Structure 1
Amino acid sequence: MQSKLLRGTFILTFGTILSKILGLIYVIPFFQIVGRQGTVLYQYSYVPYTIFISVATAGVPLAVSKFISKYNALEEYAVGRKLFKSGLMIMLVTGFIAFLAMYFASPILAEMSTQEKKANLQEVTTVMRAVSFALIVVPFMSLIRGYFQGHQSMGPSALSQVVEQIVRILFTLLGAYAVLNIFHGKMVTAVSVATFAAFIGAIGGLAVLFWYWYKRKPYLDELLEHDKGTMDISLKEIYKEIFISAFPFVLVGIANPLFQAIDQFTFSKAMSEIGYSSKVAKDFFSMLNFESHKIVIIPVSLATAFSLTLVPSITKAFVANDRKNMNRQLNQTFQVLLFLTLPASIGLSLLAEPIYTVFYQHDLIGAEVLRAYAPVAILFSLYSVTAAILQGINEQRFTILSLLVGLLIKLSLNIPLIKMMETKGAVLATTLGYTAAIIINLIVIKTYSRYPFRLVWRRSLLIIIFAGLMWAGTEVVYKFLSLFLSSASKGQSILIILVSAGVGASIYFYLGLKSGLANRLFGSRLDRLMTKLKLQKRRGSVED
């Protein structure tokens, strides 16, 4: 049973990571097809869509998955089926309400997003309405995924995620290309097709789930025949518990889009007030909220995914009141996070120009925005992990407080700082907002878990020193390569990145290995990797 669970978790994690990677890589060809004008329109629609989809699902699919798993363990299979059927109806209703809300609110959202003339506002409205159709399908699809996960069957969820992403990306790229280069249509049409791809992708993911349902239904029906039938569960009470427990996690999940939404609704206004034209303001907004953000989120996704795998162990230790083990797990989580995120964000900042060229085009202003924005990746990761730890120690109510404080700081300072520092002002406002939220989370963790941060502070200093030495080595190599390679060329930029990042990574991990820090953090996983790479002699040969 344990091996099946681990295998299922691995499949789902792999599917999620593959889906995220695909979702990050496609921006390279998409930018080449629609340019900055298209990405601005695209981003205007996607930030509100992300918020609407999170509110529409409200954490119900994950919660239903947990309840089904719980009642299956008690052999009360009928309760799980009853919950699933009611959940489908709820997701259909909330999805359709969210679709109607976004569809009819699009003109207002468009007006809030940009200081544009009426014709251009109509374009933003059209693109927002195109993506809103996905809201009808996605919550419904998410619940079916939750149902399979509740039966410890992760394959359907993983495959449907990947298929959904592949279908969405293909429709986005081929559709936008066809509109602009074959039918010679307008940019707004191309971007509308690209955002409508979310609906088409969801249909693809749903088709996979329906196929699995058709194949597995005989087995699932057979389980009902073995139902004990001793429990009469009130769905009203279950959903009350679901919504109360899920609300903080919904907020944490949309923290990033909420910060982006503040930029979307205030950035153009602030830039126009200091004399920038509408076009320049939109270009700067795209550099910040789409182009740089898509790159910055890469190390965040990987580091956070690695760190969050440790959270269940924290929960287990907290419930068992095993203070020593819980402190050890918290030490591990914070150190792993910093060990992975700090060098990645420094590397992104240092190599911002060639990285920006590879992903989009050679643009010195865009590279400067990425350089300033890259270090914020550390805060994004820290916020996600500290919020997850609050969940682990059953103090998730404080995540609402910390997020609201962070958003209030962002909202209060965004326009003044943009007027003072332009795009970097928006980055600074985000930094200050996230910093405040993280400090609150850390205070709560220290107060309620009585966790001493001493070891983490010491190890953090060591990681910072290693990252500083890595930065120095990478900077020297980068400056040397820049003497005869140009960051204006995509091909040469790739070479600069590979060599510079390779040297930097080698320095960093060499220091991590020599100091023993890497071994303390990754233990047996690192030993297996080292053995495979033949960088470490087998212990047997040493003993001989």
Structure 2
Amino acid sequence: MSNNIVRGTVLLSGAAFLSKILGMIYVIPFNEIVGEQGGALFQYAYNPYNILISLSTVGVPLAVSKFVSKYNSLGDYQTSMRMFRSGLLLMAITGILAFLTLFFSAEWIAKQIIVDDNKMGNSIEDVTMVIQMVSFALLIIPSMSIVRGFFQGHQSMGPTAVSQIAEQIVRIVFLLVAVFLIIEVVDGPMPLAVGFATFATFIGAIASSVVLWVYWRKRKPYIERSLMQQQYTHDISTKEMFIELFRYAGPFVMVGIATPLYQLVDQFTFHRGMMAIGELDISEIAFATINFYGHKLVIIPVTIATGLSLAILPALTDTFTQNRKELLFKQINQALQIISVLVIPAAVGLAALSYPAYGALYGMNHIALTGSLLAWYAPIALILALFTVTSSILQGINQQHFAVISLLAGLFVKILFNIPLIHLFSAKGAIFGTALASGTAVVLNLWRIKKSIHFSYRQTFKRTLLVLIFSAIMFIAIVATKFLFGMLLPYEESRTAAVIMLMIGVSVGGVVYLWLGYASTLLERVLGNRVRILDKVFRR
């Protein structure tokens, strides 16, 4: 894998990771103010919003990245610029349509979620209001995201990374200030505070757009210089250009909404399943744990995959277009192995430390339920990460339509088995449904990659097996640490003890895994270079 890919991966992964860390940190004070009921209400708005934002962009931003990368590699910058301008207009139109759709369908969506106003904390009116508040972000984000796609197509990841961080910081500051003022200062209702928390997405999008505009002003002279030096352009009509774009774009839609779709199935079926087994009284607590508070922790390792998939796609497209098969296999192997090396130990560690992690961040209320659900949910990180990257690989090798097939197969499995699994395993059943669904999609993607380019997983399998062994040793070390320190620290009863236990557990697990990976040279073989920081720490 070239240095550009690694640099792009680090930049986008770092930005996404920081963004997710900020997104997790703000949830701690947010939870203190609005609790599980407020968290569930917040998520009720975000699930349909996430799906609409993907549909409103029609997968165009990432498809533009692929389109621009392809024609830039052919020296045709003019066609890339034509697509960018046409895409901006298209996104403005679809953003308005998406806003109108979500705003005016909010009440209908709310009625599908709230099965009993008397036994559930949130009402239909509350859910309607928060969905309408978040819908305003749809007016800006589609157009904003296509600019990110254009920069990524030029293999310039900085604008996306900086704008993501700016968007998240402004959104979080507005959210926390609004929630605090409404509840703590003016003693306003919790649903109104959550409504303004969702509206913060619109404010964050404005901040991100400003950052991208500044980057555009700086990069515009270089782009214009490339256009002036261009000697040949493809004679492609606007119609043909959009046909090619949407051929790329369709699969991006489905991949982008995979997790929100699974969560939407939970949103429409979870409370009904819990009511059927007589557990509606804990339904919103469990839903908020799985789909909001716990998901914030689980998704952090997945952001590594997200950054990787965004950075690798243009390079994979170039390599595949030039028919450089050996380099293509190397890129795919490294992409999959990075996921194994980084996500597997993170998921195993989170499962081992689920009780102190949830208790330290969100408090000890209902910890027997919330800690258990987080432990079961943690391994989902690996499956979601693999789905993201394998889908991106399929798109890079012109097998993007199969990514749609695999996702639809997974979604069908989720719809079919979600309620039966909830009946059998209570709230954990929804987690098992997501694992079964996303696992089905991953297996299909891996099979298609192997079949379409005759790719061998031998090297990836060997190194993943080594990662699993190291992660198992790390797990044993964490469990032993919990047992020893648990004699002194009541981490399942005291939040302070949970914080201390979490810090000790993360430190022990991290040192054990990193030392094993470093001493065995696994890390440098996968990442392509010596890890200089670890050189200083461990001195092999």
TM-score (norm 2): 0.90
Given the alignment, which residue of 245, 251, 260 partners 1:257?
Answer: 260
Given the alignment, which residue of 257, 272, 277 partners 2:275?
Answer: 272
- Structure 1, 240-249 or 21-30: larger mean CA deviation: 21-30
Equivalent residue, structure 2, for 1:170: 173
Equivalent residue, structure 2, for 1:141: 144
Equivalent residue, structure 2, for 1:541: none
| Shift in Å, 1:408 | 0.7
Provide the rounded CA distance (Å) in 1 between the counterparts of 2:399 and 2:141.
30
Provide the rounded CA distance (Å) in 2 between the counterparts of 1:96 and 1:334.
38
| Shift in Å, 1:493 | 1.9
Structure 1 gaps, min length 5:
538-544
Kindly indicate whether the alpha-carbon contact (under 8 Å) linking 2:175 and 2:196 is maintained by their aligned counterparts in 1. Answer: yes
| Shift in Å, 1:311 | 6.1
| Shift in Å, 1:313 | 6.2
SS at 2:105 equivalent: helix
Q: Deviations over 1:170-197 (max 9, x none)?
A: 1111101111011111111000000011
Matches within 5 A, 1:137-286: 137-149=140-152, 154-213=157-216, 232-277=235-280, 279-286=281-288
Provide the rounded CA distance (Å) in 1 between the counterparts of 2:449 and 2:151.
34
Provide the rounded CA distance (Å) in 1 between the counterparts of 2:10 and 2:472.
34
Matches within 5 A, 1:469-480: 469-480=473-484
- 1:120 and 2:123 aligned: yes
Q: Deviations over 1:387-409 (max 9, x none)?
A: 22222332222111111111111
Kindly indicate whether the alpha-carbon contact (under 8 Å) linking 2:5 and 2:315 is maintained by their aligned counterparts in 1. Answer: no
Equivalent residue, structure 2, for 1:399: 403
SS at 2:538 equivalent: coil
Kindly indicate whether the alpha-carbon contact (under 8 Å) linking 1:114 and 1:269 is maintained by their aligned counterparts in 2. Answer: no
Read off the aligned partner of 1:491 and give its amino acid letter.
T
Matches within 5 A, 1:364-513: 364-487=368-491, 488-513=493-518
Given the alignment, which residue of 329, 346, 349 partners 1:347?
Answer: 349
Provide the rounded CA distance (Å) in 1 between the counterparts of 2:76 and 2:319.
29
Equivalent residue, structure 2, for 1:29: 29
Change (3 A) 1:407 1:458: same
Provide the rounded CA distance (Å) in 1 between the counterparts of 2:318 and 2:154.
22
Read off the aligned partner of 1:339 and give its amino acid letter.
V
| Shift in Å, 1:161 | 2.2
Change (3 A) 1:216 1:106: same
- 1:98 and 2:103 aligned: no
- Structure 1, 377-386 or 144-153: larger mean CA deviation: 144-153
Kindly indicate whether the alpha-carbon contact (under 8 Å) linking 2:16 and 2:303 is maintained by their aligned counterparts in 1. Answer: no
- Structure 1, 258-267 or 379-388: larger mean CA deviation: 379-388
Provide the rounded CA distance (Å) in 2 between the counterparts of 1:502 and 1:382.
26
Matches within 5 A, 1:307-318: 318=320
Kindly indicate whether the alpha-carbon contact (under 8 Å) linking 2:410 and 2:439 is maintained by their aligned counterparts in 1. Answer: yes
| Shift in Å, 1:227 | 6.8
Provide the rounded CA distance (Å) in 2 between the counterparts of 1:419 and 1:477.
35
Provide the rounded CA distance (Å) in 2 between the counterparts of 1:34 and 1:116.
21
Q: Deviations over 1:339-384 (max 9, x none)?
A: 2222211111111111001221112210010011111112111212
Q: Deviations over 1:11-41 (max 9, x none)?
A: 5554444333322322112111211111111
Kindly indicate whether the alpha-carbon contact (under 8 Å) linking 1:16 and 1:158 is maintained by their aligned counterparts in 2. Answer: yes
Provide the rounded CA distance (Å) in 1 between the counterparts of 2:506 and 2:432.
26
Kindly indicate whether the alpha-carbon contact (under 8 Å) linking 2:99 and 2:135 is maintained by their aligned counterparts in 1. Answer: yes
Change (3 A) 1:217 1:121: same
Read off the aligned partner of 2:300 and give its amino acid letter.
I
Equivalent residue, structure 2, for 1:338: 340
Provide the rounded CA distance (Å) in 1 between the counterparts of 2:333 and 2:215.
41
Change (3 A) 1:210 1:356: same
- Structure 1, 439-448 or 248-257: larger mean CA deviation: 439-448
Kindly indicate whether the alpha-carbon contact (under 8 Å) linking 1:37 and 1:283 is maintained by their aligned counterparts in 2. Answer: yes
Provide the rounded CA distance (Å) in 2 between the counterparts of 1:524 and 1:213.
33
- Structure 1, 268-277 or 140-149: larger mean CA deviation: 140-149
Read off the aligned partner of 2:354 and give its amino acid letter.
A
Larger radius of gyration: 1
Kindly indicate whether the alpha-carbon contact (under 8 Å) linking 2:360 and 2:502 is maintained by their aligned counterparts in 1. Answer: no
Read off the aligned partner of 2:184 and give its amino acid letter.
N
Equivalent residue, structure 1, for 2:520: 515
Q: Deviations over 1:396-432 (max 9, x none)?
A: 2211111111111111111111111111111111111
Read off the aligned partner of 2:414 and give its amino acid letter.
K
Query: What is the root-mean-square deviation of aligned Cα atoms in Å?
Result: 2.9
Change (3 A) 1:468 1:155: closer
Provide the rounded CA distance (Å) in 1 between the counterparts of 2:326 and 2:241.
34
Equivalent residue, structure 2, for 1:536: 539
Change (3 A) 1:108 1:441: same
SS at 1:418 equivalent: helix
Read off the aligned partner of 1:27 and give its amino acid letter.
V
| Shift in Å, 1:318 | 4.9
Read off the aligned partner of 1:24 and give its amino acid letter.
M
Read off the aligned partner of 2:519 and give its amino acid letter.
K
Equivalent residue, structure 2, for 1:542: none
| Shift in Å, 1:452 | 3.0
Change (3 A) 1:208 1:393: closer
Provide the rounded CA distance (Å) in 1 between the counterparts of 2:494 and 2:50.
34
Read off the aligned partner of 2:453 and give its amino acid letter.
S
Paired residues, number: 533
Change (3 A) 1:307 1:102: closer
Provide the rounded CA distance (Å) in 2 between the counterparts of 1:462 and 1:16.
27
